[in-house]
Structure 1
Amino acid sequence: MRKTVIASVLALSMFTTIDMESAAASAPVPTLPAPTGGHAAGRSDIHLIDSSRPDPWATGMKVRELMVSVWYPARRAVGEPAPYVTPQESESIIRGVPQLKDVPPDTLAKTKTYARVDAPALRRKGGWPLVVLSPGMTLPRATMTSLAEEFASRGYLVAGIEHTYESVATTFPDGRTVTFEAGKGGQTPELGAKVARVRAADTTFVLDQLEKSKRWNRLIDETRIAMVGHSVGGQSAAHLLAAIQRIKAAVNLDGSYNPRTPAKPVEKPFMMIGNPRQEPNTGGEKSSWDLFWPHVTGDWRRWLTVTGAEHMSFIDYAVLQPQLGLPKYPIDGERSIKITRAYVTAFLDLHLKGRRQPLLDKPSIDYPEVRFW
């Protein structure tokens, strides 16, 4: 009898192990679109501490801690692929979506990326143009990886800023993971103004630290800096373009404006790309884009929308969500990422490298989804 019980326990244990292994084997392994430029890409993560100010979102925190990912052209693709997010960050993201309750919590941590951890950097006389990335509210900096890897492969150094407590989860090198605190009371003009101030301070601090760094300073051309943001990061890019002299050009990816007018007119090159709900409103109540646009007064400006796009169509979630079993958007995720890469890279090549870009002059037969306003 005792032998039978032991055998049954062993059998149950064996089958449970097999079931667990089978479930793990069948779990999705998300994959991002490969970058298309001519350079291999490296990535390094930096932990920065601003001791000059307390954290604006966490009571009792006397310093502001930030995580920054830096993507860059590499001499060769050596080393481990850079992790997309940490297991803790993956769990926070997945557990926040009820439809993903059956998806293993570490799934996003296994996402296939193409930049290699601390790969040897490719140096260039005068340095590479710098692109600062700012993600949306609750979204980790990782959600802009498809763009970051593309830009690095095309000859840009890219700094993705994690705005701590504005992301669903941020993991620091010592293993701590902090979660979302900003804006729990809902979106208000006061919150929007505070987010704009916080992101301005974060961005200024990161630019200062990169310029002071012996490692990064020699790789950056400080005279050629642009900012690209999604959602709240996009509206922040617009506000910071007028406020921070070092930023020469900016792109807003589907970010609504809050506040709805900049403190100063936006006179530098600026482009907005959004979903169809961001199209000009010719009747009725004006949208935040309608109200902001008259304050964009520079000689070079563009207002574009993408037919079939949704709010997440401009970042990695456009391709990752369907891979996890979530519904697809009207426009295919691979297609929307291709469009975003094409137009934003053209913008950067024009304004940071001085290369003429006919794609930005008028509608293209290659991208009929993109509408000019």
Structure 2
Amino acid sequence: MRTTLPRPGGRHLPGRVTLRLVDWSRPDPWVPEQPYRELMVSLWYPSAGGGRPARYLRVGAAASIGDLDVTGVGLHTEEGAAVPRGEKRPVVLFSPDFGIPRDFHTTLVEDLASHGYVVVTIDHTYETAVDFPGGRITERRADRARIPARVEDVRTVLAKLTSLAEGRVPGDGLLPPGLGAALDLTRLGIFGHGAGGGTAAEAMYRDNRLRAGVVLDGEFLPPMPGHDLERPVLLLGSEAGNRTPAAESFWARHHGWKRDLAVAGTTTLSFTDYEPLLPPGSPRLGPTAPGKVVTATRTHLRAFFDLHLCGRPTRLFDGPLSRCPEIVFRR
């Protein structure tokens, strides 16, 4: 197993802080006797350095990965690094799959931060082990993802980000000066993997502030009456992904910019950090070389948000390109 994740491709050094957020307006969906919902999030951002080397996964999150030992895996991020002054950054939220910790997609998240995005990764408490301040760990209690509750988690995070942008500290955690001022909440996007992909799609239905979304091998809910969407959506999946009846209904009800792409020679785990960390040829992953999978996924994820949040033109979504044969255009 490699000991350092792939280097991000942008010019910015990623910084990271973690926050505990509490929503006092609703009980926990998995623990009804708890009259509030608490979440852990990581905020990744382009930094000016001056922090300390960031740790990968904490105790509970690492244990939830199972037989993969992530002890000593190196990142390219500084914890608590300084925030450059004077520039507003687009903000992208991320929701992981059921049972997967929020920062087990660091390969993708670090790259986005290095290219100028603030990325907020969300743990959906009790769907995976979550490390809280003081060494407290909440174990998984759920036997499946509950997407409506996850959507409420997303909306909680959006409310807390609004508070942060307005100069208020929204939760428990130390924040570098200027982080709130760097958030451009007029340029909000979301992406997710598996159940997180379904969360991203459903959150876009529920909240018009989310201007663009990417679904990585999504687990969609059956469509509700009036579920029509016109904001840009990219389906980016493994060869077998995004092929359920619910996904087809989602596609049919989407009337705006949309693309349906696959990364050849992959499985659904290829969109997690399993792809760069497991040895090549692992049965959990597909036959395509890890470096090519990571490059293709990073490039198309970033190009989508560059196009729809930043107005930067790209030809990547016009049709197949010989320089990126790993990407299969489905429709």
Aligned to 2:81: 119
| Structure 1 counterpart of 2:133 | 173
Paired position in structure 2 for 1:291: 249
1:309 Cα deviation from its structure 2 partner: 1.1
Give the partner amino acid of 2:77. Answer: A
- 1:32 deviation in Å? 1.0
* Per-residue deviation, 1:117: 0.3
User: Which blocks of at least 5 consecutive residues in structure 2 are unaligned?
Assistant: 168-177
Q: 1:252 & 1:262 partners in 2: Cα distance?
A: 21
Q: Give 1:209's match in structure 2, choosing from 150, 157, 160.
A: 160
Structure 1 ranges of 4+ moved more than 6 A: 323-326
Task: Find the aligned partners of 2:52 and 2:83 in 1 and give their Cα distance.
Answer: 15
* d(CA) in 2 for partners of 1:207, 1:109: 32
Verify: 1:84 aligned to 2:42, yes or no: no
Q: Which amino acid aligns with 2:151?
A: A
Q: Shift of the alpha carbon at 1:305?
A: 1.1
- 1:10 paired residue number: none
Q: Unaligned regions of 5+ residues in structure 1, if any?
A: 1-27, 95-99, 187-191, 281-285
Q: Quick one: structure 1 residues 149 and 262, their matched pair in 2 at CA, closer, same or farther if it must change by over 3 Å?
A: farther
CA–CA separation in structure 2 for the residues paired with 1:202 and 1:164: 9
Structure 1 residue 328, shift from structure 2 partner = 4.6
- Per the alignment, residue 34 of structure 2 pairs with 61
Higher percent of residues as helix: 1
Greater RCO, 1 or 2 (C-alpha within 8 Å, sep 6+):
2
2:137 matches 1:159? no
Larger radius of gyration: 1
Q: What letter matches 1:141 in structure 2? A: R
- Using the TM superposition, give the Cα deviation of residue 156 of structure 1 relative to its aligned residue in structure 2, in angstroms: 0.6
- Please, what TM-score do these two structures have when normalized by structure 2? 0.90
Would you say how many aligned residue pairs link Structure 1 and Structure 2? 318
| 2:150 corresponds to | 199
Measured after TM superposition, the shift of residue 325 of structure 1 is 7.3
Change (3 A) 1:273 1:261: farther
Q: Pick from 24, 27, 38: which aligns with 1:51?
A: 24
**Alpha-carbon separation, structure 1, partners of 2:22 and 2:274:** 29
Question: 2:41, 2:281 → 1: CA distance?
Answer: 26
1:217 and 1:80 mapped to 2: Cα distance? 20
Q: Secondary structure in 2 aligned to 1:218?
A: helix
RMSD (Å), alpha carbons: 2.1
- C-alpha change, 1:92 and 1:304, in structure 2 (3 Å) is closer
User: How big is the shift at 1:262?
Assistant: 7.6
Quick one: which of 229, 234, 241 aligns to 1:266? 229
Judged with a 3 Å threshold, the aligned counterparts in structure 2 of structure 1 residues 263 and 256 are, in CA distance, closer, same or farther, namely farther
Please give the secondary structure, in 1, of the residue aligned with 2:148. Answer: helix
**1:76-123 alpha-carbon deviations (Å, 9 max, x no partner):** 3x33221111133213322xxxxx3xx7xxx31421111100000123
Query: Residues 247, 331 of structure 1: CA spacing in aligned structure 2 closer, same or farther, 3 A cutoff?
Result: same
3-state SS in 1 of match to 2:98: coil
- Of 248, 251, 254 in structure 1, the residue corresponding to residue 214 of structure 2 is 251
**2:110 counterpart residue number:** 149
What SS class does the counterpart of residue 135 from structure 2 fall into? coil
